[in-house]
Amino acid sequence: MSMERDLFITEVALRDGSHAIAHQFTVEQVTRVARALGEAHVPYIEVSHGDGLGGSSLQYGLSRTNEMELIEAAVSVSGESKVAVLVLPGIGTVRELKEAAKLGVKMARIATHVTEADVSAQHIQTARELGLETVGFLMMAHMAPVEKLVEQAALMESCGAETVYIVDSAGALLPHQVRERVRALRQRLRVHVGFHGHNNLSLAMANTLAAIEEGATRIDGSMRCLGAGAGNTQTEVLVAVLEKLGIKTGIDVYKLMDAAEEIVAPILAAPQEITRDSLVLGYAGVYSSFLLHARRAAQTFSLDSRDILMEVGRRKVVGGQEDMIVDIAAELARQKTGAAVNQEERYG
């Protein structure tokens, strides 16, 4: 049954949430979540490796299950809900996009760094040719001035994107900055504007509501905040808030609450919360998926993960440069050892 909606929500726990559990989703977990989301009438369910199609690798993290199996499982049980995939050009290829389309995916979200929309052209055009709803996804949106963001969004629109998202990958934007960006895109673009938030500064809900007030009609959320860093805007809470505001999502809020409590919560090793590490992601403006990588590097080199993340932020490292985290940690460890040696020589 099709539902009347004022805006369309994409549930991203089965993609963004992959980061939070080190890409260990099973077919059974994805099947249970996707079925419940279909029964709750959530319009879009994003399923893929955290770094998009083809992301399973030593650099980004190896998946426990082939993502095409996960996609196929989700499509088979999602009812009228449409399954979406994320593609980062340079990681995911047109071949993988075509394979996902054959499995029944209905939406492709083509993601680039906020200043690199030009690399999305081939993937956007291919997605349109495959008959998929096509979204441009401008990540790390806090790293570009508004004028640059608008220019890059217009480029994605010209390539064929039917929606362009402002993606706060670091959870670093403040509500007034979200308003300014959504307003600027609404003034320039003819296509839909979307917003994807992270909760590293506890602002995902506030930022999402600011985006909606400025006219964004495509919104992302993750049940139980199952996403990178401190997670995304919590979907079941968002839907309840929007109902109180009189904004129609077409989603059954009780069924969504049940899915979050009974199916998604047990997947998390611990409840998502704003820890000192995830807080630093937003504070330093660092890609949310870097959190687990920084924690591992901190353990390997006996460092404070916050020091690694702050240095990553200072160097303006962006998604796709995960290998630099280990290099930075090794460099910080050498500096720490050198400082200790100097101090020992000085006072020893």
> Which residue ranges are tagged as binding site for substrate?
15-16, 169, 196, 287
DSSP 3-state of 310: helix
Taking alpha carbons only, the member of 51, 87, 83, 79 closest to residue 70 is 83
Strands 82-87 and 192-196: unpaired
What the block records as the tokens of 65 is: 């299950």
d(C-alpha 14, C-alpha 269), whole Å: 15
d(C-alpha 48, C-alpha 85), whole Å: 6
Q: Residue 232: which residues within 8 A CB-CB, separation 6 or more? A: 12, 16, 196, 197, 198, 199, 204, 220, 221, 222, 225
d(C-alpha 287, C-alpha 319), whole Å: 6
Alpha carbon separation from 290 to 79, 254, 273 (Å, rounded): 34, 33, 16
The catalytic residue positions are 19
- Please report, to the nearest 10 degrees, the dihedral formed by the alpha carbons of residues 169, 90, 65, 287 taken in order: -20
Q: Which residues are annotated as a binding site for Mn(2+)?
A: 16, 196, 198
DSSP 3-state of 90: coil
Question: What H or E segment, with its residue span, contains residue 109?
Answer: strand 107-113
Q: What angle do CA 136, 312, 278 make, to 5 degrees?
A: 75
**Residue 128: how many CB atoms within 10 A of its CB?**
16
Q: Which residues are annotated as a binding site?
A: 15-16, 169, 196, 198, 287
- Contact at 8 Å (CB) between 39 and 255? yes
